[in-house]
Amino acid sequence: MALLPTLSYEYTDREVTDTFRGYRHQLKIDEGEFYDMRNLTSENAPLLANRRRRGRVRVLQSPGGLLAKEKLAWVEDGCLYYDGTATALTGLSAGKKQLVSMGAYIVVFPDKKYYNTADPTDRGSLGALYTSAGAVEYTLCKADGTACRQPTVSDTAPEEPDNAALWIDTSQQTHVLRQWSAAQSAWNEITTVYTRLRFLSEGELPGLFSVYDGVRISGAAPDGIDGDRIIYAVGGGEGVLDYIVVTGLLEQAVTQTTGSVRIERSVPELDFVIECQNRLWGCRSGTEDGKTLNELYCCALGDFRNWRQYMGLSTDSWTASVGSDGPWTGAVNYLGCPMFFKENRIHRITVSASGAHAVSETVCRGVQAGSAQSLQVVNETLFYKSRSDVCVYQGGFPQSISEPLGPELFSDAAAGAVGERYYLSVRGADGGWRLFVYDIRHGVWMREDELHVETFARLGDELYALTGEGELLALLGSEGEREPFVAWEAETGMLSWQHPDRKYVSRFNLRLYMEEGAELSAWLMYDSDGTWVRQGRIRTRGTRTVTLPIRPRRCDHLRMKLVGKGEVRLYSIAKILTYGSDVG
């Protein structure tokens, strides 16, 4: 019986990837991940899809900040705009601004000005300065400004005083004001003594200052008036002398005719400012008047004009020095606690109802210098850019989430958030910009494009971006002039298909949903030779689902790149694997 030769044969298998897990810029990546991409989104996850078309709202001239309240606010060419309309708050300096929302107010730093969105007539400067011109009268008075009886000044008590008579006791080094009580037959000490200062200001003074303002007085002739003071009364007007009432013991009425008296309500220079629990909080490092500063501040409760109001109350202003090295790099309100960052520290303030606020310090990765705007709270989790990575923080120590972004170091980060997505604009080591998006729900990164965003602001379900070129964009396209289409790309990692059992890829099948006018082409690179070879192209004339077959040549490994334009959804990539004979 003759033996016949055994014929070799091939059989096939199929592997399908229908879950796409975003961007991972590493040498080794998993199925469904992409080494590089452009203008893709996780909104339709696990499908792969292009991002929404953006809307171009307007182009700003000399922009300086962006804020979302009930409407959008921004600074353009030295003027504050609200809801697209120029306000009466003008004369703002050039450069970047911090716009902080507090109630109905918008507070602008470093200009230290404010605007009331509910009452446009309520606007002005946080600080105030008055310098006297002409005579200044000093009189001992009551808290409301009415003059007191002339006291007796001596080191012994007056004999046979009238009821309510006043005596300045000079028998001790610290002089004391006492008042005679006929009912008690005793001289009772008056612990808080007031002095009235009257000026020829024609209503200017009451327009600058309010009751309980914390001010600094300098140039006063009587001793004991200069220094930090609280205004307990203020009044006057056109045709009458203006006055303020402060604490201080005046032994006799004085009229100052030389020099000038300076009254100032000042606001510290602040590196970063936030709002938390009806106060503004800020930080400052550097030098001032020859002194090194490394401090935290807050204004008086509900009063962003007063940063030096110290009355011994829970509502007072507050200042604290910290001992950690380095400049401040950012600040955020996280779950009702002010938090201030350095590159290697987090300082968290516990706000006390009694005013005894406490500062804690955590030595860990902080915010990278220049990346203060990367601080963003998404679903009760804080995200920020550190010097080495992107971190998430939930109250303990920060954790890194940026391994998929690759080994490149980024800087100058700004971030925004809408829904469950964290948008991050960063500068790469080559000086170019990248816009990444992290999806909290799916735990994946996506890369959009090279958009350089200076500031983000979320209003409702839209995320606005102010670019480095001054464009105001609606990233989700809810308003403005929308892009005609979105051009996108997706590049896989290295695909190694040659196996000892002679298994190789004989075909790829791409299952897609494409809207009318959309285009897609598939490219392959064989054995890392640096050349992309186009394998197929589709352009639809109607909205439909299509399959694109790709037949690669046999090789050791390959990469695939999909290049598209228009609305496309990738459902799956099927690999048809062929098992060859031992001969090949």
- CATH code of the domain containing 355: 2.120.10.80
**What single string gives the DSSP state of each residue in 550-575?**
E-PPP-SEEEEEEEEESSEEEEEEEE
Instruction: Supply the mean pLDDT for the chain.
Output: 92
pLDDT at 8: 53
**Where residue 549 sits, what CATH number does that domain have?**
2.60.120.260
Look at residue 300 and tell me whether its pLDDT is greater than 50.
yes
Domain membership of residue 5 (yes or no) is no
Domain membership of residue 59 (yes or no) is no
Do 309 and 372 lie in one domain? The reply is yes
pLDDT at 101: 97
Look at residue 169 and tell me whether its pLDDT is greater than 90.
yes
Do 572 and 442 lie in one domain? The reply is no
Of 250-259, 301-310, 504-513, 529-538, where does mean pLDDT reach its minimum?
Answer: 504-513
Do 203 and 313 lie in one domain? The reply is no
Decide if 147 contacts 141 (C-beta within 8 A): yes
pLDDT at 501: 55
pLDDT at 544: 77
Q: Which residue has the higher pLDDT, 19 or 13?
A: 19
| Residue 119 DSSP one-character state | -
In whole angstroms, what is the distance from residue 395 CA to residue 511 CA? 44
Residue in the structure block whose two tokens are 């009551």:
142
Rounded mean pLDDT of 278-303?
94
In whole angstroms, what is the distance from residue 302 CA to residue 61 CA? 34
Look at residue 11 and tell me whether its pLDDT is greater than 70.
no
pLDDT at 43: 93
| Residue 206 DSSP one-character state | H
Count of domains observed in the chain: 4
- The whole model's pTM is what? 0.91
pLDDT at 584: 45
Do 112 and 135 lie in one domain? The reply is no
In whole angstroms, what is the distance from residue 572 CA to residue 47 CA? 8
pLDDT at 574: 84
Domain membership of residue 466 (yes or no) is yes
SS3 sequence, 323-339?
Answer: CCCCCCCEEEEECCEEE
Domain membership of residue 245 (yes or no) is yes
Of 230-234, 294-298, 525-529, where does mean pLDDT reach its minimum?
Answer: 525-529
Residue range of the domain that includes 149 = 131-265
Look at residue 132 and tell me whether its pLDDT is greater than 80.
yes
Q: Could you read off the pLDDT of 386-424 as tens digits, one per residue?
A: 999 999 999 989 999 999 999 999 999 999 999 999 999
Look at residue 582 and tell me whether its pLDDT is greater than 80.
no
Look at residue 186 and tell me whether its pLDDT is greater than 60.
yes
Do 164 and 291 lie in one domain? The reply is no
Do 367 and 516 lie in one domain? The reply is no
What percent of the chain is predicted at pLDDT more than 70? 95
Of 106-115, 345-354, 571-580, where does mean pLDDT reach its minimum?
Answer: 571-580
Domain membership of residue 412 (yes or no) is yes
Domain membership of residue 3 (yes or no) is no
Do 168 and 241 lie in one domain? The reply is yes
Task: Show which of 229, 250, 265 is a domain's final residue.
Answer: 265
pLDDT at 555: 81
Give the distance from CA 572 to its chain's centroid: 40
Q: Quick one: pLDDT band at residue 581, thresholds 50, 70, 90?
A: low
- Name every residue whose Cβ is closer than 8 Å to that of residue 442 and which is 6 or more positions away in sequence: 21, 22, 42, 45, 46
pLDDT at 26: 92
Do 363 and 382 lie in one domain? The reply is yes
Do 252 and 281 lie in one domain? The reply is no
Do 377 and 243 lie in one domain? The reply is no
In whole angstroms, what is the distance from residue 312 CA to residue 138 CA? 26
Report which secondary-structure segment, H or E, holds 382.
strand 381-385
Q: Could you read off the pLDDT of 417-438 as tens digits, one per residue?
A: 999 999 999 999 999 999 999 9
Report which secondary-structure segment, H or E, holds 208.
helix 204-208
Q: Classify each residue of 490-520 as buried b or exposed e, where b means 16 or more C-beta atoms within 10 Å of its C-beta.
A: bbbbebebeeeeeebbbebebbbbbeeebbb
Rounding to the nearest 10 degrees, give the CA dihedral for residues 372, 21, 393, 429: -30
Overall size of the chain counted in residues: 584
Task: Show which of 482, 500, 531 is a domain's final residue.
Answer: 482
Do 214 and 260 lie in one domain? The reply is yes
Rounded mean pLDDT of 367-385?
97
Task: Assign 204 to helix, strand or coil.
Answer: helix
Domain membership of residue 303 (yes or no) is yes
Q: Quick one: pLDDT band at residue 201, thresholds 50, 70, 90?
A: confident
Decide if 435 contacts 45 (C-beta within 8 A): no
Q: Quick one: pLDDT band at residue 287, thresholds 50, 70, 90?
A: confident
In whole angstroms, what is the distance from residue 237 CA to residue 13 CA? 93
What percent of the chain is predicted at pLDDT more than 90? 77
pLDDT at 502: 59
Task: Show which of 265, 286, 302 is a domain's final residue.
Answer: 265
- Name every residue whose Cβ is closer than 8 Å to that of residue 170 and which is 6 or more positions away in sequence: 153, 154, 155
Tell which residue, 303, 396, 300, has the closest CA to residue 348: 396
Look at residue 335 and tell me whether its pLDDT is greater than 80.
yes
Do 162 and 259 lie in one domain? The reply is yes
pLDDT at 1: 53
Look at residue 330 and tell me whether its pLDDT is greater than 60.
yes
Domain membership of residue 1 (yes or no) is no
Tell which residue, 475, 401, 467, has the closest CA to residue 438: 401
